[in-house]
């Protein structure tokens, strides 16, 4: 599974066997990236794709030294289970 940012579509995408399996959509508000929506294709649900997408996205953001806001319910739940990503998130 490969997670790549697609800035033209404002999202991070996960590819499984070269097929788009899901994405995390974002907006930039007042200079801050807001992770607003996660979507995983039905054929990939329940296979860990959403978690791999979340990890890949947050790892890239952490490696770039960026901080983001999160409004997506899936990502908020993921972050509750993975406090190691707290440094990536800006609290309101």
Domain with residue 19: its CATH number is 3.40.630.30
Q: How many domains does the chain have?
A: 1
| Per-residue model confidence (pLDDT) at position 76 | 95
Alpha-carbon span 29 to 56, nearest angstrom: 22
CB-based contact 49:40 (threshold 8 Å)? yes
**For 48-90, what is each residue's pLDDT tens digit?**
999 999 999 999 999 999 999 999 999 999 999 999 999 999 9
Q: In which domain, by residue range, is 53 found?
A: 2-88
How many CA atoms, within 13 angstroms, populate the side-chain half-sphere of residue 28? Answer: 7
70 close to 78: Cβ distance less than 8 angstroms: no
pLDDT for 1? 82
Tens of pLDDT along 8-47? 999 999 999 889 999 999 999 988 999 999 999 999 999 9
Report the alpha-carbon distance of residue 41 to residue 50 in Å, rounded.
Answer: 10
């Amino acid at each position: 599974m490969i997670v790549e940012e697609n800035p033209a579509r404002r999202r991070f995408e996960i590819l499984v066997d070269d097929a788009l399996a899901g994405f995390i959509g974002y907006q930039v508000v007042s200079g801050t990236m807001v992770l607003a929506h996660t979507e995983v294709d039905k054929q990939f649900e329940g296979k860990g794709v959403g978690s791999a997408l979340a990890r890949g996205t947050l790892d890239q953001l952490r490696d770039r030294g960026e901080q983001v806001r999160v409004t997506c319910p899936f990502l908020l739940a993921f972050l509750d289970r993975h406090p190691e990503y707290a440094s990536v998130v800006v609290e309101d």
